[in-house]
Structure 1
């Protein structure tokens, strides 16, 4: 009787192993890393230390290529800057809300220092990924992102226009 129950358990072990292998080999979405698997060093070999971390983008915001201007920003960003300078009205309820900087891509500041504003994307029926994030009140720091907060470009909007 004991031999029969061990034969029934074996397919479950194979199924569990198959599921684990399938999970490890399943294609991931871009930006999602598979878990790192580290093997023990061979006998007598030196321990290579911790596995290398994947490259991380520089967290400090890079200044624009032509420092001090809005050159290179889309026309919709210039319209958003004018709205920010004039205090609105803004097209989206979220505009002017606190940006938490949870990713830590911008310099650390107290909560509430950063505000976010939508930069319209022609052809989209939703807010899209483009934003302007300002720091301070009135804004002292200005950042543009076109990839939903993954990277930022610092810029200077200049003096408000009448």
Structure 2
């Protein structure tokens, strides 16, 4: 009789400890780019790349991000099976939305043999919000995609 009681006590203590660790952890503060939800002054964000029609994508986006944006707007096909999958926003660095609202896409990093850390995360279907991260979801910068997709 003692061994089952001891085992049960150990399991209860373990479960209580795991529950306490999870509930006592504070989620990290959102780490939005300074411009999230605000207009960015050109001197802070750099001059945007201009298309013939005057539409632009911000200069902080690497050239490979333009390719990813074009694929997203076309609906694929995407080079990685994870592209287009639900981004869970577990770190809570983006505004809270229902599960399935955010999707993630790989931005290729030249000379890298794996997916790397660069991603575009979109929100909505079709996307109405766009975010770029180059540090695997630690920080995000929001941006707008012009009606022509920022074509040069």
> TM-score, normalised on structure 1?
0.60
In the other structure, the counterpart of 2:109 is: 121
Q: 2:75 aligns with which of 87, 91, 100?
A: 87
Matched, 1:133 2:129: no
In structure 2, distance between residues paired with 1:62 and 1:78: 22
CA shift, 1:70, in A, is 2.5
Instruction: Identify the structure with bigger relative contact order (alpha carbons < 8 Å, sequence gap 6+).
Output: 2
In structure 1, distance between residues paired with 2:65 and 2:128: 17
In structure 2, distance between residues paired with 1:60 and 1:121: 22
Q: How does 1:4-19 map onto structure 2 within 5 Å?
A: none
Distance 1:88 1:160, change over 3 A: farther
| Alpha-carbon displacement from aligned partner over 1:11-41 (angstroms, at most 9, x marks no partner) | xxxxxxxxxxxxxxxxxxxxxxxxxxxxxxx
In the other structure, the counterpart of 1:62 is: 34
Matched, 1:153 2:141: yes
Task: Give ranges in structure 2 of 5+ residues lacking alignment.
Answer: 1-27, 49-55
CA shift, 1:58, in A, is 4.8
Task: Give ranges in structure 1 of 5+ residues lacking alignment.
Answer: 1-55
CA shift, 1:57, in A, is 5.9
The residue matched to 2:132 in structure 1 has which SS? strand
Is 2:31–2:138's contact at 8 Å kept on the other side of the alignment?
no
When the two chains are superposed, the root-mean-square deviation of aligned CA atoms in Å is 2.1
In the other structure, the counterpart of 2:20 is: none
Is 2:31–2:140's contact at 8 Å kept on the other side of the alignment?
no
> TM-score, normalised on structure 2?
0.64
CA shift, 1:159, in A, is 1.3
In the other structure, the counterpart of 1:104 is: 92
| Alpha-carbon displacement from aligned partner over 1:71-97 (angstroms, at most 9, x marks no partner) | 221000010000000000000000000
| Number of equivalenced pairs | 107
